[in-house]
Structures are given as C-alpha cells and as structure tokens.
Amino acid sequence: MTDTLRPPLAVAETPADGGPKKLTRSIGVVGGTLLTLSCVTPASSLFVIVPELFSSLGTFTAMSIAIGALICIAVAFCYSELGTLVPSAGGEYAMVGTLAGRFAGWLVFIQSLIVVMIVPSLIAIGTADYLAPIVHVDARWAGAAVMIAATVAGLLDLRANAWITGIFLVLEVIAAGVVAFLGFGHAERGAGSLFHGSVVTDGATGVVGLGAIVAAMGTALFVTQGFSTAIYLSEELENPRRNVARTVLWTLALSVVVIIVPVVAITLGAPDLAALSAGNISDLVTGWSNSAVGTFISLCVALAIINAGIVMVIQNSRVLFASGRDKAWPEPLNRAFGTLNRFSAPWVSTLAVGVPGAVLCFVPQEQLTNITGVAVTALYLLVAVAALFSRRAHHKHAPAWRQPLWPVLPVLLTVGLVYLLTQLDVTALEWTGGITAVASLYWLFYLRPRQADRWVITLPEDEQV
C-alpha cells in the first residue's frame, strides 16, 4: 500500500517537440496489484459469474475453474514477457502490433474493445441481486447507476483510485473468506464429489460430461480474466521491466485462491445438489448462518461490483486513450480520446467507456456473456501467437522478463485455444466474427492506405525496444 503514498512524480506532459502525450509513472507493484486484483474482482466473479457455472456444471464447477486457471498461467507468462518488452497503455494491441504486425495489432484491439465495452455492464447488472436485502431495484437501472458512479470515479487521480479499490478489495476478500468458512463448516459431502460431476437441471439430476466443461470454458476463463489489467497500467507503473510481470503473476495467483477456495467450500457445503445447481450463494449463506450474515455478505458483494466497475472503467479508458494517441480514428476523435484532465486521467475516453456501458445494462445478458467469452478466447489466442515472435531480431536480446518453456507453452496454448473457439456458442462466434470482419474492412479501406500517419503504435520514449 505504501506504493500509493508517494507524491506524484510529474503531471502528464506533451513533449516539447509536440509528440504524443505520456502518462505519469506514479504507482509501484503494490498499487498496481491492488488495481489489477480489483479488476479480477474475485468477489464479483464469485458471486455473479460463478453461479452460472454452478447451474451448468454443478459439482464440476471448481474443476472447470482450476482448468481455466492452468490455461491462464500459460497466458500470464505470455502477457508478462510481452508486457515487459512493450510496456504501453495500449495493452495487448501494442504488444501484438509491435511484435506481429500492425494488422494483427488491429485485430487484437477489436477483440479487446468488445471485451472492454461489454464486461463492466455484465458485472454491474448483478448489483441489484445483492442489494435486495435492503432495497429492491430494477437490475438494469442498478447496473446503469453503478456504471455512472464508476465513470465519475474514473475521472479522478489514479493514486486515489488505488486507495478506493484497495478498501473495497478488503471487503471482497472478507466476504469470500466468510463464505469459505461457512461452507467448510457445514460440509455435506466429501472432497471426492469435486471429481464426479453432477448437476440438477429442470428438477432432474444429470451427469456432467467433458463436452459441458469445454462449452463452459469461455466463462471459466472470464472468471480470472482481469490479471491483464497490469498490461494496461504498464505505462503508469514504475520500473515496468520488473513490476509488470510481478503484478500479472501475483494477481493471477491471489485471484485464483480467493475464487476457488470458496467455490470448493460451496460445493461441499450446499445442503443438496439442487441448492448447489441453483447457484444462489446468498441463500446458502443465510441457511448456514442467519439473515444478518447473509445481508452483510450481500452488501460486501454489492461494493465489490462497484469496485469492479471503477477499475474496469480505469483500465478500459486507457485502451481508448492509447488508440487515439496511436491515430486509430479520424483526427477529431484522436484528439478527443487523447485529452487528459487535471488529474492526468483521459476524461473523454473514460466517458466513452462508461456511458455506453450504462446503456448496455439494458441489453439481454446471455448473448453478451457468450460474445465476451469468444472475444476473450480470441484475444488470448492472438497474444499467444505474438509470444512466438518475442525472441526474433532485436527483441531477442532486449531486456525483459522471459517466460519458461518457450516456445512450447505458447504453441500448446495456441492449439488449445483454437480448439476451444470451435466449441463455443455459434451465435456468439457469428457476432464476434461479424464485428471483426467490419473492423477488417475499416483497416483495409481507411487505416492501411494511411499507414504513414494512422495506427502508428506508440511506445513511451524511455521504453523503446
């Protein structure tokens, strides 16, 4: 936490030669980890996303998350190496565009844009369920209110947000810890049930097969997806060559523990398989304890969702900021997205993420969730492919954190993710493919003919590779 206490090094500046603006390096590994772990939002993933897995996988939910975590370890290695080679607020698109070519970077940017525009809304809509013990509100309006509040917070100083999200994160961990304690304390079945998949659907008990696990893997990857936030913050992290990898790997490890331990406890402690498959964690907590404890947990989760919204808006605004700086749009949009306020926050980019996010709260959730799963999988796939280019030419000897077992891990990851894409929801694949096709046409007819002054991927001057 002391990383967030140091005075600002400098305000964001435009170089004297009129070049692109740079963000301020003002946070260390602890502050970056707090922000990144908050973007994973262990409690909101546990209480909003995981219930969907319980409803489809039952006792195999913990297994699916564990498999997803193993995949994410290989992904995190790729992110850590590429993020230290290319520490830019552009995140994945800057890494992939620098190493694998500008068109590949553009495709990555489109996948990340799909994710950043949808995910905050999906999380925010879950707020109403956990406010129910004290007030009943429409889920759509509650989600929209969370998005607006997160947008306002995103306009403030990054250091202040590290404190805000750190406080909320403590409440998240407490809530997850209470659930784990109660679940283990009321265990109804042995650990062996974790390896025998059973689920209740429409009142009938069924067996969970491998196909169901693979079909749900996009959601399982989504549960711990936020560790990539460290890449978006890499331009504001002090000593990015060291701190990017540390932040990525620490965040992944901590988030997996905070999520999977309560999931195991819930699986063992649910009074019956029907209650587990229903996925109503608040009702389970109330049954294990009393309504007061259930209310406390619900309010902690509601705060966790607000926390998630704040950090996601911060992260996602950096993507648009970098795209404007890198001339991805017509010049008026480039100038707008690159504008910083007195707190060195990209305020137009923040509004461009937050306001549409509030609107998306009124769109049906299921298809948005499936589209996000496809986009996240495609994003990881493109990063894995780029990792195969990380040691060619001058990149081979550039100072950076280097992943173990290269190139074996990126190759295995690429093959596995290609297979996973073929197993995901067809409609979501069509939507994501259609958006990507339109974006490719934009590249072909607008960006490619203007390569001299459009989509010029910028690296901070002190971090050129």
For 302-349, give the DSSP string: HHHHHHHHHHHHHHHHHHHHHHHHTT-S-HHHHHHHT---TTS--HHH
Residue 460 phi/psi, 5° resolution?
-55, 140
Amino acid at 368: L
Any domain includes 298: yes
* Structure token pair of residue 339: 């504008």
Per residue in 298-349, pLDDT (tens digit) is 888 887 777 778 777 877 887 788 788 888 899 999 989 888 887 777 889 8
> What pTM was computed for the model?
0.77
Range of the domain at 197: 26-395+403-459
By C-alpha distance, which of 227, 240, 170 is closest to 27? Answer: 240
* pLDDT tens sequence for the chain (465 residues): 333 222 233 334 444 444 445 556 657 777 777 777 766 677 778 888 888 889 889 999 999 999 989 988 999 899 888 888 887 766 788 888 888 888 999 999 899 889 888 888 888 888 888 887 788 888 889 999 999 988 888 787 655 555 666 677 788 788 889 999 999 999 998 888 888 888 888 778 888 887 888 888 878 887 877 787 777 776 667 777 778 888 888 888 888 898 999 999 999 999 999 999 888 888 898 899 888 888 888 888 887 777 778 777 877 887 788 788 888 899 999 989 888 887 777 889 899 989 999 999 988 877 888 888 899 899 999 999 999 988 887 777 777 788 888 999 999 999 999 998 988 889 999 999 999 999 999 999 999 999 888 888 766 654 444
Any domain includes 20: no
| Rounded percentage of the chain residues whose pLDDT exceeds 90 | 22
Q: Determine contact, residues 85/71, Cβ cutoff 8 Å.
A: no
Q: Determine contact, residues 52/202, Cβ cutoff 8 Å.
A: no
Any domain includes 81: yes
Q: Determine contact, residues 401/250, Cβ cutoff 8 Å.
A: no
Any domain includes 5: no
By C-alpha distance, which of 352, 355, 375 is closest to 421? Answer: 375
In angstroms, the CA 435 to CA 42 distance is: 30
Query: What is the chain's mean pLDDT, rounded?
Result: 82
SS3 content of the chain, % helix, strand, coil (to 5): 70, 5, 25
The strand pairing partners of 200, in sequence order, are: 205
Any domain includes 316: yes
In angstroms, the CA 397 to CA 427 distance is: 44
Q: Residue 124 is part of a domain; what is its CATH number?
A: 1.20.1740.10
- pLDDT value at position 163? 66
Any domain includes 240: yes
Residue 237 phi/psi, 5° resolution?
-85, 135
SS3 270: coil
Number of domains the chain is built from? 1
